[in-house]
Structure 1
């Protein structure tokens, strides 16, 4: 099969650097979130999601080929719109909620920002899961847990910003009074479906001789948006419950990754 380089793709060093540049820009923009308010915070939120989605697409393309990146984008976007449209119309599987007009244009009632946010979250979750589990079923389960856990940190922040509202926010996780447990159940269900499809898709569409790009950029995105988000929740946003959950859910993940890397040195 013709290699990416032979087809005029940029050198590997450039392809590897591009996701990292996007990850650094994502972190810098995320740092600005708790320091802004009003329209400036809305602009920061949009920028974070666009950068995160771009990081996912660029990393998938760099390490797995353009065909895989395009297929991942279509799969995640389509799955997001399907689950969110059903959720808005029926309350299943997340519970009853409504989106704010601040999120901009919609498709089937779903703000276009939402599938981009799914893309921002889904690809790093799948990549990091692959570092923790090599077999298909464990990898899908870990990716699903990471995907849903990310939302545990993110959702209270978005509710606080007024981007969506829950009709019945209780009962919720201890310390989080604004987001119902049904939302977590919905994310586990949607994440399980998405990660199963995503795993099969990447396996079937990957370019056999595509150079492998390291996981540093998705790791940085996942780490900062969860643990950095938890820090922002505790120190600036007045969300100690989600801060505690973020630390409890993700510190063990990164400790395990560090331990595995140490053992392989």
Structure 2
């Protein structure tokens, strides 16, 4: 009797598990589609700017719900990637080094040392998702790290003008400096190298979708600005 019940429960979980990924992708697409409409066509973009932290938290929650190996290697990677990304921004804000002279607006939520805390989480998410995409190639680890870095730069290229338009951050000169992309490449490459060498299971089926949905979101707004 107990064996039969256990088998039925297991079969039920297996049956519905296959719907998890499509459902997560659908949620990502819907939330980003609503944000896209709200920022460009609602007539009240400020209301949707204020929802950016919730969108980022939702995206990260979905992404890491599909992560399989919550071991020490993964936790250490997450903490270090957060710290490196966040403190790189702190240095950038207060010195102009790494990225150039810029200031964060209010759209990304609570700040510490003038940098939104969500920025550290955003670095983790981007390194993690682009690192997963690069792992689909048969290339050596260092080449995968370069590909992951270039994917991050591609996203940043389209993100920067959108960020300036909707109060994520602003450049003091009003233009995006070359130093931003050089700094992004340097920090991202270090983190991508670490991702490739970190000891945890690197298979997350949602990771490529997170990157592609975000890239589509920012490219679409970039084209229409």
- Structure-1-length-normalised TM-score: 0.69
Change (3 A) 1:66 1:223: same
Shift of 1:219: 1.5
Residues 1:140 and 2:145 aligned together: yes
Q: Find the counterpart in structure 1 of residue 218 from structure 2.
A: 229
- Structure 1 stretch displaced more, 115-124 or 65-74: 65-74
Distance in 2 between residues matched to 1:103 and 1:111, nearest whole Å: 6
Q: CA RMSD in A?
A: 2.5
Distance in 2 between residues matched to 1:92 and 1:104, nearest whole Å: 23
Question: Does the 8 A contact of 1:133 with 1:142 survive in 2?
Answer: no
Q: Find the counterpart in structure 2 of residue 97 from structure 1.
A: 102
Shift of 1:79: 1.1
Distance in 2 between residues matched to 1:86 and 1:12, nearest whole Å: 48
Change (3 A) 1:185 1:213: closer
Question: Does the 8 A contact of 1:58 with 1:69 survive in 2?
Answer: no
Distance in 2 between residues matched to 1:92 and 1:229, nearest whole Å: 26
Shift of 1:213: 4.7
Q: Of the two, which has the highest radius of gyration?
A: 2
> Could you give the per-residue CA deviations for residues 147-173 of structure 1, whole angstroms, max 9, x where no partner exists?
12111121211110022110124xxxx
> Could you give the per-residue CA deviations for residues 70-105 of structure 1, whole angstroms, max 9, x where no partner exists?
233212211111211111111111001011134322
Q: Find the counterpart in structure 2 of residue 30 from structure 1.
A: 32
- Structure 1 stretch displaced more, 129-138 or 157-166: 129-138
Distance in 2 between residues matched to 1:78 and 1:12, nearest whole Å: 37
Change (3 A) 1:22 1:79: farther
Q: Find the counterpart in structure 1 of residue 4 from structure 2.
A: none
Question: Does the 8 A contact of 1:124 with 1:221 survive in 2?
Answer: yes
Distance in 2 between residues matched to 1:16 and 1:195, nearest whole Å: 30
3-state DSSP of counterpart to 1:92: coil
Aligned ranges for residues 77-88 of structure 1 at < 5 Å?
77-88=82-93
Identify the structure with bigger relative contact order (alpha carbons < 8 Å, sequence gap 6+).
2
Distance in 1 between residues matched to 2:212 and 2:74, nearest whole Å: 22
Match 1:220 to one of 209, 215, 222: 209
Question: Does the 8 A contact of 1:159 with 1:165 survive in 2?
Answer: yes
Q: After TM superposition, what 4+ stretches of structure 1 lie above 6 angstroms from structure 2?
A: 11-16
Question: Does the 8 A contact of 1:55 with 1:120 survive in 2?
Answer: no
Give ranges in structure 1 of 5+ residues lacking alignment.
1-10, 170-177, 239-265
Q: Find the counterpart in structure 2 of residue 118 from structure 1.
A: 123
Distance in 2 between residues matched to 1:233 and 1:47, nearest whole Å: 22
Question: Does the 8 A contact of 2:105 with 2:169 survive in 1?
Answer: yes
